[in-house]
Structure 1
Amino acid sequence: MGERLVRAARDASDMPVALTGVWDPAPEAAARLATVAPEMPLLGSAAAVIAACDCLYVAAPPAAHLPLAEAALDAGRAVFLEKPLSHDTDAARRFVARAEGAGARAGVNFPMASSPAVAQIAAWRDQGLVGRPESLAISVDFAAWPRSWQRDASGWLSRRAEGGFTREVVSHFLFLTRRLLGPLALEHARASFPGGDQAETAIEARLTAGGTPVSLRGAVGETDRDDTNAWTLRGSAGAIRLRDWSIAEREAGEGWATAPDALPNERMRPLVLRGQLEKVAAMTRGEPQALATLREALEVQEIVEAILASG
Structure 2
Amino acid sequence: MTYSRPRFAGDKSLHGVGIIGLGLMGQRFAQAAEGHPEIRVVAHYDPYAKSAVGTALATASAKDLICHPDVECVYIASPPATHLDLINQAAKAGKAIFCEKPLCTDVADAHAAVGAVEAAGVAAAVNYPHATASAALELQRIVQSGELGPNVAARLTLRFAEWPRRWQAQAGDWLRSPTEGGFVREVISHFLYLAGRLFGPGKLVERSIQWGPATEEILHCKLDFNGVELVIDGAVTGDIEDHNSLEVRGELAAATLFDWYQLHYGQTQIGEGSAPTSQLDELGLMLDGHDHRLASFEEACSVVQLVEAIVLRQTS
TM-score tier by shorter-chain length is 0.7 to 0.9
For the pair 1:175 / 2:199, whether they are aligned, the reply is no
Correspondent of 1:56 among 74, 95, 98:
74
Q: Which runs of 5+ in 2 are unaligned?
A: 1-24
For the pair 1:262 / 2:280, whether they are aligned, the reply is no
For the pair 1:3 / 2:21, whether they are aligned, the reply is no
In 2, Cα distance between the equivalents of 1:223 and 1:112? 28
Task: Specify the code of the residue in structure 2 equivalent to 1:18.
Answer: R
**Residues 98, 43 of structure 1: alpha-carbon distance in 2 compared, 3 angstrom cutoff:** closer
Q: TM-score, normalised by structure 2?
A: 0.87
Correspondent of 1:240 among 245, 252, 255:
255
- Write out per-residue CA displacement over residues 70-98 of structure 1, whole angstroms, 9 at most, x where no aligned residue: 10010000000001111221121122134
For the pair 1:148 / 2:174, whether they are aligned, the reply is no
Question: Counterpart of 1:305?
Answer: 308
Task: Specify the code of the residue in structure 2 equivalent to 1:307.
Answer: I
The answer as to whether partners of 2:87 and 2:113 remain within 8 angstroms in 1 is no
Q: Size of the alignment, in residue pairs?
A: 288
Q: 1:181: how far off?
A: 0.6
Higher fraction of helix: 1
- Write out per-residue CA displacement over residues 37-64 of structure 1, whole angstroms, 9 at most, x where no aligned residue: 3322211111121122100000011110
- Write out per-residue CA displacement over residues 172-222 of structure 1, whole angstroms, 9 at most, x where no aligned residue: 000000001100011112222123xx1111211111111111101211025
In 1, Cα distance between the equivalents of 2:261 and 2:153? 21
Correspondent of 1:218 among 224, 229, 234:
234
For the pair 1:80 / 2:98, whether they are aligned, the reply is yes
Q: Which runs of 5+ in 1 are unaligned?
A: none
Q: TM-score, normalised by structure 1?
A: 0.88
The answer as to whether partners of 2:114 and 2:298 remain within 8 angstroms in 1 is yes
- Percent identity (aligned): 34
The answer as to whether partners of 2:91 and 2:116 remain within 8 angstroms in 1 is no
Task: Specify the code of the residue in structure 1 equivalent to 2:298.
Answer: R
Question: Counterpart of 1:192?
Answer: 210
Question: Counterpart of 2:296?
Answer: 293
Q: 1:258: how far off?
A: 4.6
- Write out per-residue CA displacement over residues 238-294 of structure 1, whole angstroms, 9 at most, x where no aligned residue: 1111011111012x4xxxx451x423xxxx22xx11111122122223221111011
RMSD: 1.6
